[in-house]
């Protein structure tokens, strides 16, 4: 989200602790000002499920109320769904989605894409997404929350292995290529992903919008946090689902070398749809026992109330995000913690640099090689020192201004209007 806007202006993960399931009727997502033209957007996302994608969609569209009406159309996670357990049922599910879109009076369709929403394998997911998009007779915006390395264009060498690899790449990605070409606009959340898509598909440059996840604080005034910091403690907080790629193990390994007042607060629980989640949970507990820091690690579990979650996060002395390289999904939690105004230490994963590309935001967080225990320890201690905070605070405030919900909603509005204007021109020609 560095330089944002429509293509004519400039070049263009929410993973949360599981929120309460809430049914939000489309009527509550309507234009506030009847005198203005109201865009009608059909939003395809797992709206009523325990899913970071759904939470992101709800938070984002809460900023759209002044210019649009949102009609959520429910997507399902086909990897874990109990009843959509056969290809025939999954094809019927796509047919129902098509019918729902056709029945909608939406001006455009915005798909929040994850591969698992369309199939258990990449091959089936791409084919079903293409079928859906080809049967939608409305302008389409495609938000890509995951960009796989297998989708990146590879260099060509004059060898048999390279030629065969190139042929396999084209076969593997042929349907996704058609999906991207069928979209009127494509949204990505990180500059790294933007660069990869442009390199792979230069023709799409004018259709791709770099729109980072909004950095917007959650109101928690007057809310009592379910977990309270004790006098003298310093909290290192790692929020979100307890998943392997979060790198909890790096902080646990660093605990023995940190001052005794430091506590690790894991503000989340195992994702209900993570097949290997409980195995990872067991590994973490075993490592905590081995290191001997049982009295210094706190697991909050899921914090259903977003205000209570925010009240816990705001007690942090430092946020530590030792993520593996996972593409865009890490930037969702990064956006959350940036809204809290606390020091942030991250890994060197590219998703952790989303908000650091401006001269006035470059020091909003700091990155370190989290596999180096001593470097991680020093980075955490330095970040938690109040004396090192003035420039960090200034740069975080700049991030909060540049990427607040209002600013990002305005960019989405400009994109929607650009797509509709382009579609109208094509219709007249």
> Could you report the per-residue pLDDT of 282-298, keeping only the tens digit for each?
999 999 999 999 999 99
Q: How many Å apart are CA 304 and CA 48, to the nearest integer?
A: 14
Task: pLDDT band for 249, please (50, 70, 90 cuts).
Answer: very high
- Could you tell me the two tokens for 342? 């606390």
| CATH number of 274's domain | 3.40.50.2000
Question: Coil, helix or strand for 208?
Answer: strand
Q: What is the pLDDT of residue 327?
A: 64
Q: Domain for residue 411, yes or no?
A: yes
pLDDT exceeds 80 at position 326: no
Partners of 236 in the β-ladder: 264, 318
Indicate if 380 and 419 belong to the same structural domain. no
Q: What is the pLDDT of residue 7?
A: 37
- Closest by Cα among 360, 313, 361 to 333: 313
Which structural domain, as residue segments, surrounds residue 366? 234-402
Q: Does the CA dihedral 343-220-70-84 come out positive or negative? A: positive
pLDDT exceeds 90 at position 255: yes
Sheet strand arrangement including 39-45: 68-74, 39-45, 108-113, 140-144, 185-188, 208-210
Indicate if 146 and 53 belong to the same structural domain. yes
Q: What is the pLDDT of residue 50?
A: 72
Cα–Cα distance list, 106 to 64, 70, 225, 263, 290 (Å): 15, 9, 40, 49, 56
Count of structural domains within the chain:
2
Task: pLDDT band for 14, please (50, 70, 90 cuts).
Answer: very low
Indicate if 62 and 177 belong to the same structural domain. yes
Q: What is the DSSP annotation of 36-83?
A: S--EEEEEEE-TTSS-HHHHHHHHHHTT-TTTEEEEEEE---TTT-SS
Q: Is 77 exposed, middle or buried (0-12, 13-18, 19+ CB in 10 A)?
A: middle
Indicate if 197 and 239 belong to the same structural domain. no
Question: Coil, helix or strand for 239?
Answer: strand
pLDDT exceeds 90 at position 274: no
- Closest by Cα among 204, 207, 102, 186 to 144: 186
Q: How many Å apart are CA 210 and CA 143, to the nearest integer?
A: 10
Q: Domain for residue 32, yes or no?
A: yes
Q: Domain for residue 209, yes or no?
A: yes
Q: Is 81 exposed, middle or buried (0-12, 13-18, 19+ CB in 10 A)?
A: middle
Q: What is the pLDDT of residue 12?
A: 39
Mean pLDDT of 55-78: 92
Q: How many Å apart are CA 351 and CA 334, to the nearest integer?
A: 9
Indicate if 190 and 282 belong to the same structural domain. no
- Closest by Cα among 266, 222, 273, 244 to 78: 273
DSSP secondary structure code for residue 352 in this structure: G
Indicate if 64 and 209 belong to the same structural domain. yes
Task: pLDDT band for 67, please (50, 70, 90 cuts).
Answer: very high
Q: How many Å apart are CA 196 and CA 379, to the nearest integer?
A: 30
- Could you tell me the two tokens for 238? 């790692």
Q: How many Å apart are CA 66 and CA 258, to the nearest integer?
A: 48
Indicate if 336 and 350 belong to the same structural domain. yes
Across all residues in the chain, what is the average pLDDT? 86
Q: Percentage of the chain with pLDDT > 90?
A: 64
pLDDT exceeds 50 at position 54: yes
Mean pLDDT of 424-429: 54
pLDDT exceeds 60 at position 8: no
Q: Domain for residue 3, yes or no?
A: no
Q: Domain for residue 14, yes or no?
A: no
Q: Domain for residue 363, yes or no?
A: yes
Q: How many Å apart are CA 51 and CA 78, to the nearest integer?
A: 13
Instruction: Give 172-231 pLDDT, tens digit per residue.
Output: 889 999 999 999 999 999 998 899 999 999 999 999 999 999 999 998 988 999 999 999
The three state secondary structure string of 257-280 is HCCCCEEEEEECCCCCCCCCHHHH
Q: What is the pLDDT of residue 156?
A: 63
Indicate if 384 and 415 belong to the same structural domain. no
Indicate if 90 and 201 belong to the same structural domain. yes
Task: pLDDT band for 410, please (50, 70, 90 cuts).
Answer: very high
Indicate if 396 and 422 belong to the same structural domain. no
Pairing between strand 140-144 and 185-188? parallel
Q: Domain for residue 5, yes or no?
A: no
Partners of 320 in the β-ladder: 345
Could you tell me if 125 and 116 are in contact, meaning their C-beta atoms sit under 8 angstroms apart?
Answer: yes
DSSP run (H or E) holding 140: strand 140-144
Instruction: Give 366-401 pLDDT, tens digit per residue.
Output: 999 999 999 999 999 999 988 778 899 999 999 999
Instruction: Give 89-136 pLDDT, tens digit per residue.
Output: 899 999 999 999 999 999 999 999 999 899 888 999 999 999 999 999
Q: Domain for residue 349, yes or no?
A: yes
pTM: 0.84
Could you tell me if 113 and 82 are in contact, meaning their C-beta atoms sit under 8 angstroms apart?
Answer: no
Indicate if 273 and 244 belong to the same structural domain. yes
Indicate if 200 and 255 belong to the same structural domain. no
Could you tell me if 12 and 24 are in contact, meaning their C-beta atoms sit under 8 angstroms apart?
Answer: no
């Amino acid at each position: 989200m560095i330089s944002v806007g429509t293509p004519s202006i400039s070049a263009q993960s929410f993973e949360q602790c599981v929120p309460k399931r809430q049914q939000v009727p489309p009527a509550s997502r309507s234009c506030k000002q009847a005198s203005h033209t109201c865009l009608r957007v059909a939003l395809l996302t797992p709206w009523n499920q325990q899913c970071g994608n759904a939470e992101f969609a709800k938070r984002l569209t809460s900023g759209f109320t002044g210019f649009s009406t949102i009609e959520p159309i429910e997507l399902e996670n086909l990897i874990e769904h109990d009843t959509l357990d056969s290809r025939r049922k999954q094809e019927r599910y796509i047919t129902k989605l098509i019918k729902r879109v056709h029945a909608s009076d939406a001006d455009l369709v915005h798909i929040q894409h994850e591969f698992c929403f369309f199939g258990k394998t990449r091959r089936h997911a791409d084919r079903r997404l293409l079928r859906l998009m080809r049967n939608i007779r409305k302008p389409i915006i495609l938000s890509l929350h995951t960009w796989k390395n297998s989708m990146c264009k590879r260099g060509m060498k004059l060898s048999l292995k390279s030629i065969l690899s190139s042929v396999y790449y084209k076969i593997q990605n042929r349907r996704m290529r058609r999906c991207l070409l069928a979209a009127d606009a494509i949204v990505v959340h990180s500059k790294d992903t933007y660069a990869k898509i442009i390199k792979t598909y230069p023709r799409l440059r004018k259709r791709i919008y770099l729109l980072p996840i909004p950095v917007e604080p959650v109101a928690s005034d007057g809310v009592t946090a379910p977990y309270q910091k004790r006098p003298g403690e310093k909290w290192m907080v790692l929020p979100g689902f307890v998943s392997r790629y979060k790198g909890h193990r790096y902080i646990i390994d660093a605990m023995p070398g940190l001052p005794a007042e430091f506590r690790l607060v894991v503000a989340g629980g195992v994702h209900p749809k993570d097949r290997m989640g409980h195995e990872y949970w067991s590994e973490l507990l075993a490592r905590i026992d081995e290191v001997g820091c049982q009295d210094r690690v706190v697991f909050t579990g899921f914090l259903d109330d977003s205000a209570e979650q925010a009240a816990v996060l705001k007690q942090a002395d430092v946020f530590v995000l030792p993520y593996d390289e996972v593409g865009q999904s890490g930037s969702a939690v990064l956006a959350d913690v940036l809204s809290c105004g606390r020091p942030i230490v991250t890994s060197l994963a590219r998703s952790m640099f989303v908000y650091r590309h401006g001269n006035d935001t470059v020091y909003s967080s700091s990155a370190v090689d989290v596999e180096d225990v001593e470097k991680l320890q020093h980075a955490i201690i330095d970040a938690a020192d109040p004396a090192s905070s003035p420039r960090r605070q200034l740069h975080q405030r700049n991030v909060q201004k540049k990427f607040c919900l209002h600013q990002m909603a305005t960019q989405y509005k400009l994109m929607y209007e650009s797509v509709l204007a382009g579609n109208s021109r094509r219709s007249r020609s």
